[in-house]
Structure 1
């Protein structure tokens, strides 16, 4: 697909639609929009213009212009993604949703929040909590990620075991389609099978099928009691093997997370604080919640007993906000902590069936030994989602790319051999598209291409992400 450049005439038309203040062409100001949190410079590309619309009508006019002139649009939320999904690989426009940041309604009777995509996930959680309500989406990047980005990637998070990923809480969307038409799918009905489930086709589509401009999020009553457990184990395998036992013990925990020894040490260094049993081979972090203190106590005692019977060194229980925050700080600081070990790294997002996590981690450990590199792992043990991170350390750029390519190929092969997949919550973006296509069938590729071409025949919506079209090789 051949795209056109953004000309002075296009800039003038954008300024007429958005106002001059919302059209950025200064390179210094655009530089931050050339990347997301993916640390490798391979995934950086300068946009030709950054635009900051304030409403859906403005976006609709911009999309009509882009379609008419064949100019690519890269929608962008908070820029906290880890798959180069918001990087303008083909230049054109970056459409930042940062000014569409209003909570429009909190409907306590129907338990819904209606809001724009530029609200941070942390603010969604805080606003709900102030009304004794609960939004269960809880990515580690909650303070910086936008809810629109969470929806666009179907983000997971720490509470996904009990409450599901973002898509479970999305009941309605307003979307600017690739032809510029504004369409609403769903709303406040909790049951609706009137036609195709367009809401959940858009959820996780990473801006390739349209631009989300309004979201209907389902809330629930705030759990009255929460308890967290920090459980150190002597080694990774004994820690991870206890997870299926927890998951089949008649309890539905809110979270079951894990960290290996490298991750624990990195978090300790980053936080500049001694962690309990920081010499342990691994941590398991569990959370339970509910509406009676007795239920919570029974749940965490059951989990603690299972852990002790299966080799845990100790079981720390936190049942107040201060100590809970201390437990979660080490896990939520994982990505930032790794930057202290290696400013450039490749964080993966693989997912396998829960019972296959021990085999996946064993395979990763063997791959690290084979190529003499460090691959710390942490993640969401309760839903099989492993964040294995290849560290560049002191390798030069050429050696780094050679290493990364062969290590990733072996990790992905191992994951697919274990009935897994290459992304559980970060999305495909540009970073994983080639690997995804390698492991897809021709039938799967055809379906992806058919959907994309039906919605966006000119391929202006976030081209080069999730779906490959045009003359680019598809295998």
Structure 2
């Protein structure tokens, strides 16, 4: 696709739409919008201009202009993504939604919160708690990521075992299409099979089909009691093998089941500058349980602890109060930052397999790590099969890093699909995994995606060079 460059006339038109203060053209300011959390230089590209609309009507006018002039538009939230999904790979306009940061409504009768895309996920969670409710979406980046970005990637997070990914909590969206049309899909009805499920077509589409400007989030009653358990194990295989036993034996679905291998434990310990319990353990399992009665919570924790002890758990630490729960969760929540300190250049993957195949996958990754003499710490969401295998560059020179990285990723993706898995569980495809998706996804599925993209964005202006190759 041949796109046009942003001209001075276009910049003047953009300023008339959103105001001069919301149009950025200065080089040093543009650099802030050139990348996301993927650290490698190949995933950094400067936009020609950044536009910060205040409402859906302004988004509409910007997209009408871009569609008419054939200028690419990259929607952007907080820039916390891990797949180069909000990177303007071919320049053009970055449409930053940071100004659209209002919580519009708390509907106590229907248990909905209506928000704009620039609200942080943490603020959504806190507002829900203030009202006595639970918003169950809980990515580790909650305090920095925008809810709009969660929608774009269908973010998962720590509570997806029990509550599902972001899509489970979304019943309606206001969306601006590439042509500038504004449409509300779904709403506050908890059942709706009126035509295709266009709401959930948009969720996870990574800004390639439309720009989300309003989100209808379902709230839940807040559980009264919860506990967090930390269980160290001698080795990763023993730790992972206990997960299906917990899921099928206790009679309750835990809120979270997370895991960290020893490399992750050491990185978190160094980052936090404090000694962690059983820091020589091969792996940690972190389990969170919720209940509506103290007796039920105590019973569930006792049953889970018993299963862990019977299956190789070295100790069971239980946090019943917020201070101790935060202490248990902190090493897991800071892992991305901790690994970034350990190795400023890294490649964090987001593979996902059926829960029963996690042991097989991790064993294969360990063998790949030894084969290429590269560290690949693994952590993630054991309760839903989502593994963040993270390649560390450390002391490798650039040429060796790129050569080894490509070979390692090829083998990891191959074994993932051999384990009935997929490339991404929550981070998305973006630009980073586009070639891999083209190689490993069924061609018919790729054609379906391409057909939907072309139908909704005929001039291919929205977030080009992401997900699938189009011409």
* TM-score normalised over the length of structure 2: 0.99
Counterpart Cα distance in 2 of 1:49 and 1:192: 40
Q: Which residues in structure 2 correspond to 1:323-362 (within 5 Å)?
A: 323-362=324-363
- The aligned residue for residue 311 of structure 1 is 312
Task: Tell me if the contact between 1:103 and 1:119 (Cα under 8 Å) persists in the aligned partners.
Answer: yes
Q: Which residues in structure 2 correspond to 1:250-399 (within 5 Å)?
A: 250-399=251-400
Q: 1:467: Cα distance to partner?
A: 2.2
Q: Which residues in structure 2 correspond to 1:17-416 (within 5 Å)?
A: 17-249=17-249, 250-416=251-417
Deviations 1:379-434 (A, max 9, x none): 00000000000000011111111111000000000000010011000000000010
Q: 1:468: Cα distance to partner?
A: 1.5
Q: 1:65: Cα distance to partner?
A: 0.2
Counterpart Cα distance in 2 of 1:306 and 1:290: 19
Q: Unmatched 5+ residue regions in structure 2?
A: none
Bigger mean CA offset, 393-402 vs 368-377: 393-402
Task: Tell me if the contact between 1:102 and 1:116 (Cα under 8 Å) persists in the aligned partners.
Answer: yes
- The aligned residue for residue 473 of structure 1 is none
Deviations 1:128-176 (A, max 9, x none): 1011110000000000000000001000000001000000000000000
- The aligned residue for residue 418 of structure 1 is 419
Counterpart Cα distance in 1 of 2:437 and 2:120: 29
- The aligned residue for residue 450 of structure 1 is 451
Counterpart Cα distance in 1 of 2:458 and 2:343: 41
Q: 1:446: Cα distance to partner?
A: 1.1
How many residues of Structure 1 are paired with residues of Structure 2 in the alignment? 470
Q: 1:284: Cα distance to partner?
A: 0.3
Matched, 1:6 2:6: yes
Counterpart Cα distance in 1 of 2:99 and 2:208: 21
Matched, 1:465 2:459: no
Q: 1:442: Cα distance to partner?
A: 2.0
Question: What SS does the aligned partner of 2:5 have?
Answer: coil
Counterpart Cα distance in 1 of 2:440 and 2:76: 28
Q: 1:300: Cα distance to partner?
A: 1.1
Counterpart Cα distance in 2 of 1:394 and 1:343: 11
Question: What SS does the aligned partner of 1:248 have?
Answer: helix
- The aligned residue for residue 439 of structure 1 is 440
Counterpart Cα distance in 2 of 1:91 and 1:449: 22
Counterpart Cα distance in 1 of 2:374 and 2:183: 49
Deviations 1:88-146 (A, max 9, x none): 00100000000000000001111000010000000000001011110000000000000
Counterpart Cα distance in 2 of 1:38 and 1:294: 45
Bigger mean CA offset, 84-93 vs 440-449: 440-449
Deviations 1:16-56 (A, max 9, x none): 11100000000101101000001111100000000100000
Q: 1:294: Cα distance to partner?
A: 0.9
Bigger mean CA offset, 390-399 vs 206-215: 390-399
Counterpart Cα distance in 2 of 1:292 and 1:209: 44
Q: Unmatched 5+ residue regions in structure 1?
A: 471-475
* TM-score normalised over the length of structure 1: 0.98
Task: Tell me if the contact between 1:97 and 1:118 (Cα under 8 Å) persists in the aligned partners.
Answer: yes
Q: 1:205: Cα distance to partner?
A: 0.3
Q: 1:273: Cα distance to partner?
A: 1.0
Question: What SS does the aligned partner of 1:66 have?
Answer: helix
Q: 1:185: Cα distance to partner?
A: 0.2
Question: What SS does the aligned partner of 1:185 have?
Answer: strand
Counterpart Cα distance in 1 of 2:197 and 2:382: 29
Question: What SS does the aligned partner of 1:387 have?
Answer: strand
Name the Cα RMSD after superposition: 0.6
Question: What SS does the aligned partner of 1:430 have?
Answer: coil
Counterpart Cα distance in 2 of 1:185 and 1:347: 34
Question: What SS does the aligned partner of 2:380 have?
Answer: strand
| Structure 1 stretches of 4+ moved >6 Å | none
Counterpart Cα distance in 2 of 1:348 and 1:300: 32
Task: Tell me if the contact between 1:452 and 1:467 (Cα under 8 Å) persists in the aligned partners.
Answer: no
Counterpart Cα distance in 2 of 1:227 and 1:451: 44
